[in-house]
Amino acid sequence: MPLKQLIQKMLAHRAAWIAEFGEIPSGQYVLHKCDNPRCCNPAHLFLGTLQDNNEDRKNKGRNVLFSGELNGNAKLSEDTVRAIRESSLSSRKLAVQLGVSHTIVLYARRRDSWKTVQPTSEANDESH
């Protein structure tokens, strides 16, 4: 495949690296010194392994997972999850009441999601 077509199908920072420095060696990743994924300034880029990338992310404090209510896609709150788990209503009925899909309710109830949410009594015990 010609270089122009190859570059059109890759991420901009990888294309910038290739244009400035040449091919990316096998097993290497193009990492960002500036931590801006959209940046394609060659001066802000360096090569490293997947492990280097993971360590860099961790060292810069970006190794935090946004779970539960901190996740911007969350449809439920922890209190709602507790109420779901305590309810005797079907997942479908709860879903209609909450305005979410029954799958969201089912996964919360079965602890396929929201695994860290404890019953109210256990949550209060941990805070004391």
82-111 exposure pattern, b = at least 16 Cβ within 10 A, e = fewer: bbbeeeeeebeebbeebebeeebbbbbbee
Same-domain check for residues 75 and 111:
yes
Pairing of strands 45-48, 29-32: antiparallel
Residue 99 sits in the same domain as residue 50: no
Can you state the angle between helices 78-86 and 102-110, rounded to 10 degrees? 80
pLDDT digits (tens, 9 = 90+) for 52-85: 998 988 888 776 667 788 877 889 999 999 999 9
DSSP structural state of residue 87: -
Output the pLDDT for position 44: 95
Residues 77, 122: one domain? yes
3-state secondary structure of 31: strand
Structural domain containing residue 32: 3-59
Taking residues 3-15, what's their average pLDDT? 74
Q: What is the pLDDT of residues 22-56, one digit of tens each?
A: 999 999 999 999 888 788 899 999 999 999 998 98
